[in-house]
Structures are given as C-alpha cells and as structure tokens.
Structure 1
Amino acid sequence: MITEDKNINSLLAEIESLKERLDESNSIIEAIREGGVDALVVNNNGVPQLYSLETADYTYRLLVEKFRQGALSITKNGLILYCNDYFAQLVNIPSEQIIGNYIQEYFENSGLFATLIEALKYGVSTHEILFKTNSHPATFPSYISMTDLEPSVEAIGIVVIDLTEKKNHEETLIKNQETLEGKIKELNRINSNLEEFIHVISHDLKEPLRKILMHNSKIDGSYLTEIDAKSMDVIKLSVLRLNSLVDDLVKYSSHTKHEEHTEVDLKTIISEVLEDLEVSITDKNAHIEIGKLPVLKVSAVQMRQLFANLISNAIKYSKATIPPEIQIYQVDDLDEEIPNQNPKFVRIQIKDNGIGMDSGHLLKIFTIFQRLHARNEYSGNGIGLAICKKIMENHSGTITVESKLNEGTTFTIYFPI
C-alpha cells in the first residue's frame, strides 16, 4: 500500500512538472506572437541553444535595404506601408516622406493602378511603368513585379527595376541602326548612280570611237607619207586601247552587283574558259593541268570571269622560251588559317611557271589600273586582277598571291563554307 502511494505521488509530481513546462511554452509562444521576445534559449540534452528572432528579421530587412532594386509593400488601395532606400533614391524623395502616401501618386499615369490591381487577380503580375521623380529627367522607365502577400498579411509586395540604362542602350542602338541604314541607302544610291554614269559614258565614248576606227580603216595608206602612216597607226592603236579600257571599266562596275548564286561545277566553268582562250593557248603552246575541283554555290558568270582573268594572266606573263605550265587544283591539307576569315573554307590554287614578280609588287597587283610592265611589253589595262578581287569579295572570300621573280606565281582563292 505504501508503495502504491509513492508511485501515485511520483506520477502526480511528473504531471505537475509537465504542466509547468507546457505553461512556460505557451507563455513563450504568446510572447513571440505579441512581439515581446527577441530571443529564446532551448535546452537540448542539457546544452543551451540560443535562437534570436530579432537577428533573422534584421537579416531579412538588411537584404531588402541593400537590394539594388526598389522594394515596397502597399495596401490593396495603394497606400505605401514600406519602401527601401533604393526606391527612395529612384524617385529622389526621402523614404520617410514616401511611406504613408499612395503609390499611384508616383506613377506618370495614376489611372494605371486600378488596371494593375485588376490584372493581379488574374495572375498578371509584371508590367512596364513610368515613375515620376524629383530629378532630371522627370520620369524613369521601370519594370515592376507585384506579389499578393495574402493570407500571411493583407498587403502587396512590389519590386521595381530601373530600366533607364537599358532603354538608353536600346535608343542608341536604334539610332545607330537608323544611321547605318541611311548610310547603306546612300551608298546604294551612289553605286547605282556610278553604274549608270559608267554605262552612259561607255556608250557616249564608244560611239565616236567606232566612227574613228571606221573612217581610219577607209583611208588608203598608199597615199600617205611614212610619217603620216605611222601617225594613223598610233591613232588606231590608241583608239583600240581606249575602247578596251571602256569595256574593262564596264566589266569592273558590273561586278558590284551580286548575281544569283547556284550550284556550279568549277571544272565545267574552267573547261568553257579554256575553249574561249583556245587561240592564246595554242599560240603559246600552253599546257593546263586541272586537278580535283569542287562544286560550289556561286555566281557562274563571275566564276567564268574570275578564271578567265587568272588563266589569261598566266599565259600572258609566261617566259619567252618556255611554254606556260598552269596547274589548277583544290588544296585539301589546310594547315593554316587566314586572319579574320572563316576557318572553314575551300582553297583553290592557280599555279604557273611564268616570269613571276618581285615581292615588293605583290600588294599592288589587285589595285585597279595598276600595271607592273610597260604597254609595249604586255597588253592590258590593269583591271583584270582588280575584278578578281571584287568577285571574291562578292562571295565573302579572298584572293592571295605568292610569287618569285623568274620562277612563277601562285594565286590562291578562298571560298568560305
């Protein structure tokens, strides 16, 4: 009996202890609810652990204050309950003067607020808004994101991102784009005028040149003195050279246009060119070796002109005692890249055993009207290689040259893939 009484008393004491601990816990919870507790200590297996409610709240507030975006909380009718310092800087008004006012007062268009609240009901929470500010300029564009904080609290959280710098960049980009488009239009107009001018001049020049040649051929040379006959020959040669120059100028100007690009077999193109140059090839006893060549998406007309110029050059500038040997082939083993070029390209070489040229002349040969020899040595107007360069530019490619005096020349053309 005595033992039972002891057990009952022990249980009652334990119940009383549990009640005290429960009351203590309820008191702490009530204090937390009322905001009267900043921290509490919890014993875990005899080891006290400190939990600071104030520290957690302070960290959150510090984060919001240091946020490089505007942050506000407002009521459903727009009353500002809180704003961070960054938003105050954006509108250039102290935060204490902002809190208690309505956010729509800071909108450029205050009537938008009702639309934003209505949109939030349907899940549309992001918008671009113009805010008024006390600095210059008087407004700034922003991107706002709204969050309904219910049921935790009857308020709306707003994050404001300043778009001023972004908009300035966009405006600058648009202005630069417009300027560039204007310059392109002006350039196209100038090019068009230049082409028309060249064709008009060529027509106006060629007509009197034809008449000079026609009447020159009618003059009976038997009645002319030796000096007069020489003069007539000089006139005829000069007229023919001028006529050739006009034709070359028209060809050069025509390659400012980008003809339609189609699948073209370069072997077929070169075969056609060799047929056209049959007389020159036979006269010089030239041997032309054609190796592997690709099918490319290019302008067939311009390819014909390109290879005609390069092959005729190789024949023209051959050695007097040695027949021209010309090789045309695709190079597969690319062990180097051209600066500022697409590394994926097709490389084709046109190699000859001609007279070559000094390395100091290599940069000049692609310049229009540039000649390295006197007219009495080699014919031509110095336009052919300039046309080749322009054709490769039209195909977003490039042309280079390597040469050694009295050993030969190698032209390399690059077509980007």
Structure 2
Amino acid sequence: MEVTDKNIESLLTEIASLKEQLFEANSIVEAIKEGDVDALVLNNNGVPQLYSLETADYTYRLLIEKFRQGALSISRKGLILYCNDYFSELVGIPTEQIIGTYLNEYFDNPTQFVQLIQALRYGIATHEILFKSDDDKKTFPAYIALTDLEPAVEAIGIVVTDLTEKKKHEEALIQHQLELEEKIRELNRINTNLEEFIHVISHDLKEPLRKIVMHNDRIDGSYLSEGDAKSMNVLKSSALRLNSLVDDLVQYSSHTAQEERTEINLAAIIAEVIEDLEIIITDKKAQIQIGKLPLIKASKVQIRQLFGNLITNAIKYSKEAAAPFIEIYQAENLNAEMPNQNAKFVKIQIKDNGIGMESSHLLKIFTIFQRLHARNEYSGNGIGLAICKKIMENHSGNITVESTLNEGTIFNLYFPIL
C-alpha cells in the first residue's frame, strides 16, 4: 500500500513539472506571436525549432549604417534622434554632433521643414531639398523621402539621396543639347549660304557658256581648216559638258533641304517619268514593266527625279545587242533581309538586263563625280546616282545595289512607312 502511494506521489510531482514546462512553452509561443520576443520558429520535418532574431536585427542595423544613402529618425518637431554615417559624410559633420540638433539646420532654406511635415499629413512624402554642408560653405541637392513611424514609434524616418552627380549629368546633357542646337543652326546657315553660292556661280558660269556656244554656232566652218574645225567642235563640246555639269550641281544642291511630303502613287509617278523619257525609250526600243507598287508618303518632285535618274541609268548602260528590259516592282522578301522591320519599310526594286558591273565598283557608284567608264563610252557627269542616294536619305530611307557583270543590275529602294 505504501509503495502504491509513493508511485502516485511521484507521478503527481512529474505531472506538475510537465504542466509547468508546458505553461512556460505556451507563454513563450504566445510572446513570440505577440511580437514580445525577437525569435523565429521554423518547422523542420515536423520538429519546431526556435531561432533568435538578434542576428537579423544586427544585419538590419549594419545595413542602415553602410548603405550609400542618408538615414535619419526625427521627432515631429524635427529633432534628430538618429543618423547614419553616410548622412554625416554628406553634411560634413560628425554623427555625435548631429544627433540632438534639428533637421532644418541642414536645409539651405530652413522654413521648408514645416512644409514637409504638413505635406506628410496629406500623403506627400517625397521632395527635393537643397542641403548645406561643410559649415555652410557648400550646398548639395538631395531627394528626401519621409515615413511616419507612428503608432509603433513616435518618430519620422527619413532617407536622403544625394543628387549631385545626377544634376551634373543633367546639366551636361542640357549643355550638349544647346551646343548641338547651335551647331544645327550653324549648319543650316552654311547650307543656305552654300545653296545661294551655287546658284550665283551657276548663273555667272552659264551666261558666258551660253555665249560661247552661241558664237561657236555662228562661225562658218567652211572657212576653217580641218584642224581648226575640229578644235571648234572640241570647244563647243567642252562648253556643253560644262553647262551640263553646272545644271547637275545645282540639281544636287537643291536636294539638301527637306520638302513637304504627301501621299503619292508610285505607279502614277513612274508613268509620268516614262512619258517624259519617251524619246530615249523609243530610240533604244526599251521595255519597262511595272509590277505591284505601294502608296508612300514622299516629295513628289524628288521621287520623280529619283526614278527618272534610275530609268535613264538603266537605258544608258544597256547592251548593244539587246534592247533594254526594265522591271519595277515591290519586293516581298523584306522580312528575310530586315527581321522584325517589314512593318516599317517597303522595298522597291528596279531591275535591268544591262551591262552590269563588277562587285568592286558597287560601293563607288553613289559617290558624286564617280565615273566607271570613259566619257567617250557613256555620257554623264557622275552625279545622277549621288542625287538618288541623297533623295533616299532625305526620306529616311536607303538605296543599295546588286549587280553581275554582263548580266544586269538591281537597285533596291527602302522607303519607311510613316
């Protein structure tokens, strides 16, 4: 009987101890839940494990101290309760001398503090402020963000971001933009002067040239020796070629300016060009086949000049044994050449069966005054294709060429779809 009583007493004591442990455990859990204990409970394979948050708190404090932005906490009246080392660096004053002072003492305009607090009540928490540093010797712009920490803490948290470098970049960008605008204005003045100069020179050159040709025609060749007659022909030919060169230069310079763009029908423009070139087309027995062509937004005058030059070029450099055959159409394979760009550009091709050219010449033909043949072989001044290139540039487009010697040439025109 005594043994039984002892066992019962032992069991009761153990139960009381377990109850006390359970009470303590529940108290800790409740404290953790309420946030009274800095701890973290993780469930690992069904076994709860308790971790102190002291390390996380230390990491947080270290982050605030080390990150490259000023961090402060202040009272609602602006008394600085805490600041990190970076804010101390910004204002050039030791941390211990900052704590206990008022934030508006570091503003270039101290009255702005009242405005910040009033704005915070309406949810406006970010501002740009000019701070003082180095004992009022310098100032720096900063982006300041306020956070009301109530009711947890009777304080306001502040983050200060130095904008000095950002402002320098902005000012440099504005300065570069102003310089660029001035250079553009200067370039426009130069272009205007150049155009005026070219027109004046062309007038001054064409007048004496016209007289040379006119008086040359009045000379009776029957009184000249064979050698003199030949010299007169050379003189007239040279004067006519110089006159043509002057006309081409004026035409080239006229395409430096942008002209008003309207929606035009390419097929209709090309039909007008063909009508203008009726004599040379008939003389060379040329055939021109026009395929599908789009509507584009462009300068009608310049586009007429563009296709006039390209069609004339195709007829001029045709084979003696074969009549020129020229095809003009919209290409459908643009996506393969310009991936993801087919919706922004349209490609027009001008294909001929002429003499073609070597691949080494393809990069030269768009250069002004560049000729690939002697004057006695083919006429021209080497300006026509340079004008074509300039017209395409004026329309934010591009022109390229493909050619095979003795087989023909293809000019590719890329027009943007606006």
Q: Same fold (TM over 0.5)?
A: yes
Which sits farther off after the overlay, 102-111 or 362-371?
A: 102-111
The alignment partner of 1:318 has SS state of coil
**Equivalent-residue separation in structure 1 for 2:233 and 2:38 (angstroms):** 115
Aligned counterparts of 2:209 and 2:112: Cα–Cα separation in 1: 77
Specify the alignment match of 1:208 in structure 2: 208
Q: Hey, what's the Cα distance between the residues in 2 that align with 1:180 and 1:255?
A: 23
TM, length-normalised to structure 1:
0.84
Cα distance in 2, alignment partners of residues 345 and 41 from structure 1 = 62
Counterparts of residues 59-208 of structure 1 (less than 5 Å):
60-134=60-134, 138-208=138-208
Equivalent in the alignment of 1:294: 294
Tell me: CA distance 1:53–1:287, structure 2 relative to 1, closer, same or farther (3 Å). closer
Cα distance change on mapping 1:136 and 1:306 into 2, 3 Å = farther
**Match of 1:107, as an amino acid?**
F
What does 1:46-57 align with in structure 2 at a 5 Å threshold? none
Q: Contact 2:334–2:346 at 8 Å: present in 1 too? A: no
Measured on the aligned residues, the alpha-carbon RMSD in Å equals 3.3
TM-score normalised to the size of structure 2? 0.84
The residue correspondences of 1:301-312 to structure 2 (distance < 5 A) are: 301-312=301-312
Percent pairwise identity: 72
Change (3 A) 1:322 1:38: closer
User: Which residue in the other structure is 1:348 paired with?
Assistant: 348
User: Are residues 373 and 101 of structure 1, via their aligned partners in 2, closer, same or farther at CA, if it must alter by over 3 Å?
Assistant: same
How far did residue 63 of structure 1 move? 4.2
Q: What one-letter code is carried by the residue in structure 2 that aligns with 1:280?
A: I
State the Cα deviation string for residues 81-133 of structure 1 (Å, max 9, x = none).
11122212222332122111121221122232233233334443321111122
Once the two structures are superposed, residues 239-283 of structure 1 have per-residue CA deviations (whole angstroms, 9 ceiling, x without a partner) of 111111111001101111111111111111111111111110111
Q: Evaluate the alpha carbon distance shift between residue 355 and residue 54 of structure 1 in structure 2; reply closer, same or farther with a 3 A threshold.
A: closer
Q: CA shift at 1:165, angstroms? A: 2.5
CA distance in 1, matches of 2:333, 2:233: 53
- State the alpha-carbon separation in 2 of the partners of residues 48 and 230 from structure 1: 115
1:325 equivalent to 2:333? Answer no
How many residues of Structure 1 are paired with residues of Structure 2 in the alignment? 390
Q: Is the 8 A contact 2:335 2:342 kept in 1?
A: no
Residue type at the aligned position of 1:160: V
1:255 matched to 2:241? The reply is: no
Q: 1:394 to 1:135 in 2, by over 3 A?
A: farther
Q: Which runs of 5+ in 1 are unaligned?
A: 1-13
Tell me which amino acid in the other structure corresponds to 2:288. Answer: I
For 1:48 and 1:253, how far apart are their aligned partners in 2?
86
The 8 Å contact of residues 292 and 329 in structure 2, kept in 1 or not, is answered as yes
Quick check: 1:209–1:243 contact (8 Å CA) kept in 2?
Answer: yes
Q: 5+ unaligned residues in a row in structure 2: which ranges?
A: 1-15, 42-46
What amino acid is the match of 1:103?
L
Distance 1:91 1:398, change over 3 A: same
Residues 384 and 99 of structure 1: CA distance in aligned 2, closer, same or farther (over 3 Å): same
- 2:120 is paired with a residue whose SS is helix
Q: Per-residue deviation at 1:190? A: 1.5
Name the counterpart of 1:4.
Answer: none
